[in-house]
Amino acid sequence: MPKGILGKKVGMTRVFINDREIPVTVIQIEPNYVVRLKTKEKDGYNAVVLGMGKRKKKRTPKPLLAIFEKAGLEPLKYLKEFDTKEEEQLQVGQEIKVEEVFQKGDLIDITGKTKGRGFASAMRRWDFSGFPKSHGARYHRAVGSIGACADPGRVWKTKRMAGHYGNETVTVLGMEIVDIIPEKNLILVKGSVPGAPKSVLELRDSVIKNRRKGKRKLERIKQLYASQ
């Protein structure tokens, strides 16, 4: 099975476990199909390309259209490559279900695109505190000094200033799966994830689950569900 899957953010709600209120993000897992298989013999590594979402045939580039026709699939809008656990069990055109990839209590990494905020000031973009707001202060929301005059005589790169805010690809590590609802193709993840409702998310096996911090987190999750 692949080590990840594609989904769409629905929104946030809450669930109760042992009288504890837990905020969760609801993710809709639309049908994911295997578009292409990559093997170590041919490509140098094992991976699978998954596709999700309908796409108009007339808006699909011909090279992609040929790949979909070879796989026996209708054109798909979103494509993403994932590592595989057992590549020999997969077939081109096969549908991947969420319960086949993840289980309740797993740790996953979620990648999404943050909301675009447009041009923003330094205070909003970088959470600066600003200047004193008392009587007599000349500046309130200004950036302040951005460099010395003589040395270095220029503004350093990466200086935090006003500019475009949001619309960036962000990955959140070690998110806990609170519940999976297979009949509705829904997955509930503890906490918030990047992106607006209906935005596409990539869900992968967490890279921190084998680290010390990840192992401690998994132990706490097991104790929580064992007491139910």
pLDDT tens sequence across 9-48 = 999 999 998 788 999 999 999 999 999 998 888 888 889 9
- Position 40 scores a pLDDT of 85
Give residues with Cβ within 8 angstroms of 201, minimum separation 6.
Answer: 6, 7, 8, 9, 27, 110, 111, 112, 193, 195
The predicted model scores a pTM of 0.86
Which segments in the chain show pLDDT lower than 70? 86-88, 226-228
Are 107 and 95 members of one domain?
A: yes
Are 126 and 92 members of one domain?
A: no
If one counts the domains in the chain, the total is 2
Are 32 and 145 members of one domain?
A: no
Are 103 and 122 members of one domain?
A: no
- Position 211 scores a pLDDT of 87
Structural domain boundaries, residue 123: 117-166
- Position 73 scores a pLDDT of 92
Are 39 and 21 members of one domain?
A: yes
Are 123 and 193 members of one domain?
A: no
Are 137 and 204 members of one domain?
A: no
